[in-house]
Structure 1
Amino acid sequence: MNADRIYESVHDRYTAAARGVDQGYGRSVAKSFGYAEEELAGVPKDANLGLGAIASLQEGETVVDLGSGAGFDAFLAAGKVGPTGTVYGVDMNEDMVARANKSRAETPHRDNVSFVRSRITDVPLRSGVADCVISNCVVNLVPAGEKQLAFDEMARLLKPGGRLAISDVLLKQPLPDSLRSCAALYTGCIAGAGRVADYEEYLRAAGFHDVLITDTNADLNVYLETDVDGTAKAASGQGTGSRCCGPVAAKDGTAASCPAGQGTGSCAGKNADGDSEDGGCGGCGGGRHGNLNKWAGSYKIFAVKA
């Protein structure tokens, strides 16, 4: 897919997510990826619990959250940096930014958090503004040809010695072409993922050192196995979660990125082995390619600006 189509697909996907309120689904995913119950309880109810990454933040620091969605991590970060700190959430989707701004009224940290609409490759904040940049499940959504720009922008935003702490989906092995070209899997955090070696190269080229990339061993299949109410999906797998890696339902009940007239939920029916007959593009599940953990993993990425 070309860059324009990627940005359009991502925009449409997260517009649908912003307009849905799938708190059970988001809470199950967030807990699976390591958020404590008390952290979830302290976030405004409409903050997007499907998008998250946390760093060791200190009072008085300035934090930039790239791809902030409806503000989940930004609100958590605001609590950690306190009234003398500042948090900027950055997201390219106008509906997500509107939802985040609405949620500000429900948090005691409303005075030290704000939200900016922008792509993460060209953020309208001054250079050297941040002590720490955080982000989650966002860089993989940036077109391959612009990923270096994203890391360059992170470096620009950070002060000398500033910290980068992001979480992202990275590949364990090359994806088949059928998965790489699937819009549903791109907006679902998988098809646009890079390799660990790619990210190490991007970071060093941007001027970072002390690069550490670790596999969290989180189960990516939680996105497939959890329905919108937070419970396990039915055996048919026909859920319509509207968060990262959960297929968004269109008005007619088909998955949002499915070709016209192809199935429900995962774009296709099943063959005799129970796999999708869609040539591999089965919603976020990868159709006949199955288990997401075979292809990719959730990684924590840390680095320091020189």
Structure 2
Amino acid sequence: MDTYLKTTEDVYRKAALTPDVGLCCTTTPLWKLPGLSIPSIMQEMNYGCGSTVHPRDLSGEPSVLYVGVGGGMELLQFAYFSRKSGAVVGVDPVQEMLEASRKNMVQAEQENAWFNRNFVDLRKGNALELPLDDGTIDVAAQNCLFNIFTKEDLKRALSEMYRVLKPHGRLVLSDPICDQGIPDNLQQDETLRALCLSGSLPLQDYLDLITGAGFGTVEVRARRPYRILSPGRYDTTENILIESVEVCAIKDPMPEDGPCVFTGRSATYFGGEEYFDDGKGHTLLYNQPLAVCDKTAAALSGLGKEDIFISPSTWFYDGGGCC
């Protein structure tokens, strides 16, 4: 095992035995769902940087994989949508974290009349070699874990997620990113990497690795400030902004002209006709914005039409659009 992975396991072993509220701090509010009560201990052990639970991904009681179980909060939230035995699989390499999550499930069962702890199947394993068969999962997720990996290990983790997903299955990720780039000295600090800070990649590198694993459609759903690494507290000469990003990667076939990556751009036609058809499957109705992937945005911009407005990336995409 690489030493940085051992350091990571040690950090989260301690966090399992003694919950550390400040270890990670999610930048999104908890879902408020009818009849869902999240035990306070799960909230204290919410070691994530965003949310991977999105109701529109979870219709039809899907099979769900969650890697890096933490206190079990997101496992419980996923089980809310898949109320059957073993529907939600939680995988973690740290035995103490699995035991803590299992204990928390008992508390969740006491607080939620609809919940049965058998809905959640906790397994020891790691993201680089998932203990699941090929093509068995509808929705896979991880929160503030993959940024810990080196690039080579991140490629392996994404490949494993792709392997276990069914066709058109969804991988939902929440990770820190850093477009400034993290200095080498901080990247090599194994404790900072374990704390979800110094492994943060520039967003484009992160997206390239996801599409490189084979995902044909990628949605950037949210992007927010997360942390500042400042001189004096960290070995840096300048402030370094770390953001959190929420992404959904869909196991769609890869288009011949490359992946469809949605970053919150739209196209609006305001010419003299009722609509504009680009002849490639994209119809823009008069003065009605259409969500477009970056590839389509570039193609429409290249037409040189002055009556089509292409918005910049908002880093917020909520479905629909050109593809």
Normalised to the residue count of structure 1, the TM-score between the two structures is 0.70
Which residue identity lines up with residue 53 of structure 1 in the other structure? T
Q: Distance in 1 between matches of 2:81 and 2:218?
A: 24
Q: Please tell me whether residue 53 in structure 1 is matched to residue 60 in structure 2.
A: no
Q: Which residue of 1 aligns with 2:37?
A: 42
Report the CA distance between 1:12 and its aligned residue: 0.7
Q: Distance in 2 between matches of 1:214 and 1:195?
A: 16
Structure 1 residue ranges without an equivalent (≥5): 225-273, 277-281
Q: Distance in 1 between matches of 2:104 and 2:60?
A: 22
Q: Distance in 2 between matches of 1:53 and 1:289?
A: 34
Deviation string for 1:45-88 (max 9, x for gaps)? 33222235323322421100011222111111101222377100
- Match runs of 1:133-148 below 5 Å: 133-148=140-155
Q: Distance in 2 between matches of 1:49 and 1:87?
A: 18
1:8 corresponds, among 6, 9, 17, to 6
Q: Distance in 2 between matches of 1:150 and 1:289?
A: 33
Normalised to the residue count of structure 2, the TM-score between the two structures is 0.67
Q: Please tell me whether residue 203 in structure 1 is matched to residue 225 in structure 2.
A: no
Report the CA distance between 1:176 and its aligned residue: 1.6
Report the CA distance between 1:144 and its aligned residue: 2.3
Q: Which residue of 2 aligns with 1:18?
A: 16
Q: Distance in 1 between matches of 2:156 and 2:140?
A: 15
Higher strand share: 2
Q: Which residue of 2 aligns with 1:263?
A: none
Tell which deviates more after alignment, 133-142 or 294-303: 294-303
Report the CA distance between 1:141 and its aligned residue: 1.3
The percentage of aligned residue pairs carrying the same residue is: 25
- Runs (4 or more) in structure 1 with deviation over 6 Å come to none
Q: Which residue of 2 aligns with 1:112?
A: 119
Deviation string for 1:226-257 (max 9, x for gaps)? xxxxxxxxxxxxxxxxxxxxxxxxxxxxxxxx
Q: Which residue of 2 aligns with 1:304?
A: 250
* Equivalent residues of 2:47, 2:144 under 8 A apart: no
Question: Larger relative contact order (C-alpha < 8 A, sep ≥ 6)?
Answer: 1
Q: Please tell me whether residue 29 in structure 1 is matched to residue 25 in structure 2.
A: yes
Q: Which residue of 2 aligns with 1:174?
A: 181
Report the CA distance between 1:219 and its aligned residue: 3.3
- Match runs of 1:192-271 below 5 Å: 192-220=199-227
Question: Secondary structure, in 3 states, of the residue corresponding to 1:146?
Answer: helix
* Equivalent residues of 2:176, 2:244 under 8 A apart: yes
Which residue identity lines up with residue 54 of structure 2 in the other structure? A
- Structure 1 113/93 Cα, relative in aligned 2: closer, same or farther at 3 Å? same
Deviation string for 1:88-134 (max 9, x for gaps)? 01111111111111122122231211111111011111111111111
Question: Secondary structure, in 3 states, of the residue corresponding to 2:10?
Answer: helix
Q: Distance in 2 between matches of 1:165 and 1:7?
A: 22
Q: Distance in 1 between matches of 2:237 and 2:137?
A: 41
- Structure 1 147/117 Cα, relative in aligned 2: closer, same or farther at 3 Å? same
Which residue identity lines up with residue 18 of structure 2 in the other structure? G
Q: Distance in 1 between matches of 2:206 and 2:146?
A: 10
Question: Secondary structure, in 3 states, of the residue corresponding to 2:9?
Answer: helix
Q: Please tell me whether residue 184 in structure 1 is matched to residue 183 in structure 2.
A: no
Q: Distance in 2 between matches of 1:96 and 1:290?
A: 36
* Equivalent residues of 2:139, 2:171 under 8 A apart: yes
Structure 2 residue ranges without an equivalent (≥5): 109-114, 253-323
Q: Distance in 2 between matches of 1:218 and 1:35?
A: 18
Q: Distance in 2 between matches of 1:141 and 1:33?
A: 20
Q: Distance in 2 between matches of 1:120 and 1:211?
A: 20
* Equivalent residues of 2:140, 2:165 under 8 A apart: yes
- Structure 1 149/22 Cα, relative in aligned 2: closer, same or farther at 3 Å? closer
Which residue identity lines up with residue 50 of structure 1 in the other structure? Y
Q: Distance in 2 between matches of 1:128 and 1:78?
A: 20
Q: Distance in 2 between matches of 1:22 and 1:151?
A: 28
- Structure 1 94/14 Cα, relative in aligned 2: closer, same or farther at 3 Å? same
Report the CA distance between 1:22 and its aligned residue: 4.1
- Structure 1 37/211 Cα, relative in aligned 2: closer, same or farther at 3 Å? closer
Q: Which residue of 2 aligns with 1:295?
A: 241
Q: Distance in 2 between matches of 1:82 and 1:290?
A: 49
Q: Distance in 2 between matches of 1:17 and 1:145?
A: 26
Which residue identity lines up with residue 251 of structure 2 in the other structure? K
